[in-house]
Amino acid sequence: MADVVSADVRSRMMAGIRSTNTKPELLLRKGLHARGLRFRLHDRSLPGTPDIVLPRWRAVIQAHGCFWHGHDCHLFKWPKSREEFWRSKIGRNREVDARSEDALAAASWRVALVWECAVKGRTRRDPDAVLDELAGWIRSDRPALVIRGTDG
């Protein structure tokens, strides 16, 4: 299937997609800071360059976009154009995510994963409930946490 927009328009659209400082990530950062938690951002010395790093609790938080990381929710649909490219791209993203999580766990870091659908879309949860659950996990000794939308 051919693209419905010109190459220039598509390039401009794709250039506008952020990998850091996304809206879900900013919501998490603001809420955690308001709860008295202090953190570092995008620590390149750690596997996967986690979005939020809390060294005091040896915990990291990843805010994953449902499309880019292939989450099974209403926000993810396989593109109809360039299907082979997108399946390869999203498959690689999933592999990198798994390797990063394994490497972090092997280095004794606790990992929380917050999916975009937990804070956006029709299955979003109350932001305060998400932040309270996340803050509770940070202060606990549980090794992992996954926060999804209400359907998953």
pLDDT top residue among 141 and 3: 141
**What is the CATH superfamily name and number for domain 19-147?**
VSR Endonuclease (3.40.960.10)
Residue bearing tokens 């999580």: 101
What's the N-to-C CA distance of the chain in angstroms? 31
Residues in the chain: 152
pLDDT in tens, 93-107: 999 999 999 999 999
User: What CA–CA distance (Å, rounded) separates 61 from 82?
Assistant: 31
Assess whether pLDDT exceeds 70 at residue 11: no
Pairwise CA distance, residues 55 & 47, whole Å:
14
Q: Mind listing the pLDDT tens digit for each residue in 112-124?
A: 999 999 999 999 9
Q: Whole-prediction pTM value?
A: 0.87
